[in-house]
Amino acid sequence: MKINKNYQSSSEEETKKIAKDFAKLLKSGDVVALFGDLGSGKTVFVKGLARGLGIKTTITSPTFILIKSYPIYRAQKSLNFYHLDLYRVNGAKDIERLGLEELFSKDAIVVIEWADRAKTLPKKRIDVFLEAINGHTRRIKIDRRG
Ligand SMILES: Nc1ncnc2c1ncn2[C@@H]1O[C@H](COP(=O)(O)OP(=O)(O)O)[C@@H](O)[C@H]1O
Ligand SMILES: [Mg+2]
C-alpha cells in the first residue's frame, strides 16, 4: 500500500480495512490528521487504524474528553496511540490545555479527528481527507506531507 493515494470505499468495513493496511506503514512519531464532515467516517477510520496497530479494546469516540490513549507495540517498543477529537474544542484555552505541541513531539502515534480545528499541526504529518459521496460511498485521500 502506498501512502499517497486515493481510495473509494463502499462500506464501513472497507474503510476499516483501508485504515488497517495504512496503519502498518505508521512509525513512532507519526501524526495523522483527519479531515471531513460529520459522518464522513473519521471515527470508523480510527477504528480500523487501531485494529492495524494491534489494539484489542473497542475504540469509542473521545468526543467529550477530547483525547484517549492506548498502549501499543511498534518495532519491539512500547508506546502510546493517542486518539484526539477536536469537534468540541471551545477556543484557544481548550486547545492549549491539550498540549498538542508536546503531544506531537512524543514517541507516539497520534491521530486527530477534526484536525482543521487545531491551531497548528506539525509540518511533517499525514493528512487523510474523507468525503461522503452517498450513503455508503466514501472517498479517502491519503497524503504524506513535510
Ligand atoms: N464507506 C463507509 N466508510 C465509513 N463509514 C461509512 C461508510 N458507509 C457508511 N458509513 C457510515 O457513516 C458513519 C460514519 O460515522 P463516523 O465514523 O462516526 O463519522 P465521523 O467520525 O467522521 O463523524 C457511520 O455510521 C458508518 O456506518
Ligand atoms: Mg468522529
Give the closest ligand to the alpha carbon of residue 64.
2
Map out the domains of the chain as residue ranges: 5-145
Q: Tell me the CA distances in angstroms from 135 to 36, 130, 131, 139, one per residue in order.
A: 15, 13, 11, 12
Nearest CA to ligand 1 atom 8: 136
* Residue 114 near residue 135 (C-beta atoms within 8 A): no
Q: Distance of alpha carbon 79 from its chain centroid, rounded?
A: 16
Q: Separation of 19 CA from ligand 1 center, angstroms?
A: 13
83 lines ligand 1 (CB under 6 A): no
What pLDDT does 81 receive?
96
Q: Which pLDDT belongs to residue 61?
A: 76
Q: Which class does domain 5-145 fall in?
A: alpha beta
Q: Is 136 in the pocket of ligand 1 (CB under 6 A)?
A: yes
pTM of the model: 0.94
Mean pLDDT per block of 10 residues along the chain (146 residues) reads 84 98 95 97 97 91 80 92 90 79 91 91 96 97 93
